[in-house]
Amino acid sequence: MSGWFMEARSRLALLALVLLANVLVAPGFLELRLVDGRLFGGIIDILNRGAPVMLLAVGMAPVIATRGIDLSVGAVMAIAGAVAAATVNAGHAWPVAVMAALGTGLACGLWNGVLVTIFRMQPIVATLILMVAGRGIAQMITEGRVLTFTDDGLAGVSSASLLGLPLPVLIALAAAIITGLLVRATALGLFIEAVGTSPRAARLAGVPAPGILIGVYVWSGLMAALAGLIAAADIRGADANNAGLWLELDAILAVVIGGTSLYGGRFSIGLSVLGALILQGMRTCILRSGLPPELNLLLMALVIALVLVVQSPACQPAIARLTARLTRKGTA
Amino acid sequence: MKAFAKYGAVALMLAAMTGCGDKGGADKAADAGKTAGALTIGFSQIGSESGWRAAETKLAKSEAEKRGITLKVSDAQQQQANQIKAIRSFIAQGVDAILLAPVISSGWDEVLGEAKAANIPVVLLDRQIDTADASLYLSAVTSDTVEEGRVAGRWLVSTLAGRDCRVVEIQGTIGASLVANRKKGFEEGISTAANVQIVRTQSGEFTRAKGKEVMEGFIKAEAPGSICAVYAHNDDMMIGAIQAMKEAGLKPGSDILAVSIDAVPDIFKAMADGDANATVELTPDMASRAYDLLAAYKKDGTQPPKWVQTPSTLYLPDTAAAEYERRKDLY
């Protein structure tokens, strides 16, 4: 745990900086108010808005740890949202719609996993297929329109709250904790990292590599479906053209900010979630800053570049020296 | 099931297209007895990426039927190459006129030159093109996107009747000329009123989800009760913003005035429910104006204006329920 905290230090510091920027932009950002048994405040907003990317990052981190990548998650979000909306509009109850959406996510993940594992396609190519085709599938389901629904149960996936927290936050945190326990309380995480380091060595060491590989893509599909449900419930409609658009890149970025190597073999669920929160914190800050919207993308890119440069191996020795000097001065 | 229906439609279209090629000779024979109304027109459509565009295609077909025009629609699926192919195929089929909704503004000179050489007039629909030679097309039927913004701005000024008002603006995707125009138009519309000022502007990228997120930010960043109106560059972002206002415990339509552009069916539902106050129509009925000017041109050579502007009509809640019924199956 303390090892995790040592590694999390720099990201927590980053998150603190981002929150500070938010406070400067909108004083009162840190205030928490309890209205009708539900918490309101800037932190809650970031957790709530960041929930979809948090979920995607939780699914993406194990995939990347196997030296893979899942580009299809944004499209899977769109499909899952479309399936859920179409199901309630066909007169089924909302739990059926949720199940149908999650089932769709599992099926999409299985498709990716089979392409990568059985057909030995490179992950970037295999998942690119569903990234492109998936949005088309979603558009077919919604017939190219925003498929709106009035079912309060399904909308509740985004608007309901429990223990004072919005449901999307709880879903994302629960998914992160369950995934974290699955990979760290068992040997599963080591297996995943072994497959990413060397599939052949892992197989020879008795790791069920094909099962692990399929499993991480299926899990990623399931997380994407959850994110898609939240996105659809948020606007009470399935927007096949825009739901989850480019979010696969945000998820990959969150995982990378979390220190997971794209070369596989090393990952952290908790740090990936922190990465997602840092990204959302920056986005919220920029949206509320009142700066001209033409600067949105530029600011975002500059901050991300800065974060990644600071975390790069080239900068690490210099930062270690700096912190060592600071702590020496502090103790002297 | 829907997927099969789509494939079925594509197969039928292909069959119809090959059929057209076969009876090309018969068409030419019939040319002699053709009246101005009995035109054959080819329509190169961009695709069906939005409800609005689907409505534009539907109206092009139904208006053609009313006038006894034979319309051949080609869906380019967002590719300029497909549009160029379609135009060449229309020229080869010897159509009387071509409608083109250009997917991008440049790169049309060569193929439109071919149409001009074949003496086939081309009318642009809903978008203009960049060309040095304006004789390449007969006319362009588009909306005046600056005027749309002006209408929205003027509505707000007259509704406020002098009351002070801090407006927040949800822009479309940065960089689109449409966004620059709708912004400029609105600013012109409110320029006469010192009591109305835009205090915040941010991009909602034309989507419901981003419109909602941006509005949430506005509500948080501004002092409670200080936002008096919201102007969104399209209805979809407004629908997202309406949800954000409701979730923040505000009453859109009364606490905060809501005006947007496009006039898609869902905004009429919101207006009928009292959640939105006004929308400016971007009419999907572009083709009927093109048919009328083509009919006049074919009949006695009447030169249409180079730019035909469709009206930017303001819709208010009083007609919302009826408008929703009228539009819901069109989009």
pLDDT single digits (tens) B97-127: 999 999 988 899 999 999 999 999 999 999 9
A33 touches chain B (CB under 8 A): no
Contact state of B220 with A45 under an 8 Å Cβ cutoff: yes
Contact state of B209 with A49 under an 8 Å Cβ cutoff: no
pLDDT(B3) > 60: no
Contact state of B50 with A239 under an 8 Å Cβ cutoff: no
Higher-confidence position of A54 and A11: A54
Contacts of A81 in chain B (CB under 8 A): none
B239 touches chain A (CB under 8 A): yes
**pLDDT reported for residue B28:** 40
Contacts of A294 in chain B (CB under 8 A): 174
Looking at chain B, which residues constitute the CATH 3.40.50.2300 domain(s)? 2-141+284-309, 145-283+316-327
Instruction: Give me B110's structure tokens.
Output: 């060569």
Q: Which residue has tokens 């720099």?
A: A10
The number of beta carbons lying within 10 Å of the beta carbon of residue B193 is: 19
B259: closest CA among B283, B284, B282, B233?
B233
Query: pLDDT-based confidence at B153, cuts 50/70/90?
Result: very high
CATH class of B145-283+316-327: alpha beta
B7 touches chain A (CB under 8 A): no
B186 class by beta-carbon count within 10 Å (0-12 exposed, 13-18 middle, 19+ buried): buried
pLDDT(B30) > 50: no
Angstrom CA distances, A302 to A19, A298, A299, stand at 17, 6, 5
Work out how many CB contacts closer than 8 A connect A with B.
Answer: 73
pLDDT(B32) > 50: no
Q: How high does pLDDT run on average in chain B?
A: 88
What domains appear along chain A, each with residue ranges and CATH number?
A: 2-289 (1.10.3470), 291-332 (no CATH)
pLDDT(B224) > 90: no
Query: CA A85, A88, A90: angle at the middle one, nearest 5?
Result: 105
Q: Tell me the pLDDT tens digit for each residue of A224-280.
A: 999 999 999 999 999 998 999 999 999 999 999 998 888 888 899 999 999 999 999
Query: pLDDT-based confidence at B174, cuts 50/70/90?
Result: confident
**pLDDT reported for residue A2:** 60
B177-190 vs B145-160: helix crossing angle, rounded to 10:
30
B57: closest CA among B49, B294, B20?
B49
A167-184 vs A42-65: helix crossing angle, rounded to 10:
30
Contact state of B240 with A145 under an 8 Å Cβ cutoff: no
**pLDDT reported for residue B7:** 53
Contact state of B221 with A141 under an 8 Å Cβ cutoff: no
**pLDDT reported for residue B25:** 40
End-to-end CA gap in chain A: 29
CATH number at B2-141+284-309: 3.40.50.2300
